[in-house]
């Protein structure tokens, strides 16, 4: 399983089997809803003036529709957007962005947002998973033309495409020499503003990309595929003499943050079989091989630094996507912190964050998290003090 969109399909399928209930009673720290009714909320960012921005993947539309090899039928509509949240009120800063919805209710659309030093808002419209630009360009009426791109909001409030990430993947496919990745697969999921432009985690391409102010794309890192034991078949008779079958596991980099040391930090979801404790956060210095900064996480969806240099790590499913129980309700995420400079991760909360999609940390240390990332008009932005 390569793309984070396919992961959200798994989560969406679980959610479809259960009623989307309010989060379980919060343990310390207290989790407080800032605003509800968000439309499949994903990435979160905070401007210097305290404005919070949320990428909303949207609810797709009635068409045109197209069949996708991994996602099934996807129907499009201009329902994605970037919202600003001020004093608990969400207002669309950018509206009418492309959004697709699958039969299981998962949205493809805006996936992350960031704010640069001068207050300019940048955002990603994610997808398409597998096939990169080719599938996108085959959708009728140009309904998916904006997928797989990095945008910047200009002084007039208009969104301008800066870089076509899906087209870059189609032409270059940086991880093509890794097992199972001969075909292009772009799914830009995480973005952070840098001094020169933006850094992007492409979950489908297994790559960290850099985009400068002119829109030139370069590869900062390609994360390795590793082999994991195939999950046991509970219906099979165990053979103690047999070696476990091994399957290639994609890294699936979902998230990116700029560290206080100037390095870029990348969180990974991991692909199938989503081993519990098998996800890491990588430290990347362009021109050098990535190194593991912290490990032991499960299905990481976002990473962010606090003002004191603490690294926060957000999981979409703390117990792991393979262990999620539909009868127990929607998967609960997990929030960790790693001491400034590195060290042993500490779990802050493991319940009360329903299927989180992104987070940001304010100057006062408050952590803002988007929850229920697959909930059409049912997601929330919540806050907590770790």
Residue 1: pLDDT band (50, 70, 90) is very low
Task: Dump pLDDT digits (tens) for 150-179.
Answer: 999 998 889 999 999 999 999 999 999 999
Would residue 95 count as lying in a domain? Answer: yes
Q: What is the pLDDT of residue 103?
A: 87
How far is residue 173's CA from residue 209's CA, in Å, rounded to a whole number?
Answer: 12
* Domain range for 367: 4-228+248-384
pTM value surpassing 0.75 = yes
Residue 21 pLDDT exceeds 70: no
Residue 240 inside a domain? The answer is: no
DSSP assignment of 131-188 equals STHHHHHTSGGGTTTTTTEEEEE-TTS-EEEEEEHHHHHHHH-TTTTSTT--S----E
User: Average per-residue pLDDT in the chain?
Assistant: 89
Give a yes or no: residue 365 inside a domain.
Answer: yes
In a domain, residue 373? The reply is: yes
The answer on pLDDT for 18 being more than 60 is no
Residue-level pLDDT at 46: 98
Tens-place pLDDT, residues 247-282: 899 999 999 999 999 999 999 999 999 999 999 999
Q: Mean of the pLDDT values across residues 333-350?
A: 97
Residue 359 belongs to domain with CATH number: 2.120.10.30
- Rounded to 5 degrees, φ, ψ at 135 are -65, -45
Give how many domains the chain has, as a whole number: 1
Q: Does a structural domain hold residue 379? A: yes
pLDDT at 347 over 50: yes
In a domain, 42, yes or no: yes
């Amino acid at each position: 399983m390569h793309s984070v969109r396919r992961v959200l399909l798994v989560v969406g399928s679980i959610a479809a089997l259960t009623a989307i209930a309010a989060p379980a009673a919060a343990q310390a720290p207290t989790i407080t809803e800032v605003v509800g009714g968000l439309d499949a909320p994903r990435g979160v960012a905070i401007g210097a003036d305290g404005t919070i921005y949320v990428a909303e993947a949207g609810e797709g539309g009635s068409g045109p529709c197209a069949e996708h090899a991994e996602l099934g039928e996807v129907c499009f509509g201009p329902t994605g957007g970037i919202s600003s949240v001020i004093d608990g009120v969400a207002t669309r800063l950018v509206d009418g962005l492309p959004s697709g919805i699958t039969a299981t209710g998962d949205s493809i659309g805006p996936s992350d947002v960031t704010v640069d030093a001068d207050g300019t808002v940048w955002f990603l419209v994610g997808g398409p998973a597998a096939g990169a630009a080719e599938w996108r360009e085959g959708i009728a009426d140009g309904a998916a033309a904006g997928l797989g791109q990095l945008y910047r909001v200009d002084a007039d409030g208009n969104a301008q495409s800066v870089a076509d990430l899906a087209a870059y993947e189609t032409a270059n496919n940086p991880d093509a020499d890794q097992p199972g990745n001969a075909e292009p697969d772009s799914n830009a999921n995480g973005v952070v503003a840098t001094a020169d432009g933006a850094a992007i985690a492409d979950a489908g391409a297994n790559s960290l990309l850099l985009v400068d102010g002119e829109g030139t794309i370069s590869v900062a890192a390609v994360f390795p595929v590793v082999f994991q034991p195939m999950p046991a078949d509970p219906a099979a008779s165990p053979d103690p003499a047999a070696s476990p079958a091994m399957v290639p596991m994609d890294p699936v980099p979902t998230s990116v943050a700029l560290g206080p040391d100037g390095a870029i930090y990348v969180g990974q979801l991991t692909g199938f079989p989503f081993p519990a404790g098998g996800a890491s956060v990588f430290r990347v210095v362009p021109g050098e091989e990535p190194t593991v900064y912290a490990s032991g996480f499960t299905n990481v969806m976002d990473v962010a630094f606090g003002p004191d240099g603490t690294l926060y790590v957000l999981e979409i499913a703390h117990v792991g996507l393979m262990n999620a129980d539909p009868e127990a309700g929607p998967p609960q995420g997990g929030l960790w912190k790693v001491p400034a400079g590195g060290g042993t991760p500490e779990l802050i909360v493991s319940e009360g964050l329903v299927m989180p999609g992104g987070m940001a940390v304010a100057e006062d240390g408050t952590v803002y998290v988007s929850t229920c990332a697959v909930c059409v008009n049912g997601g929330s932005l919540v806050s907590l003090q770790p």
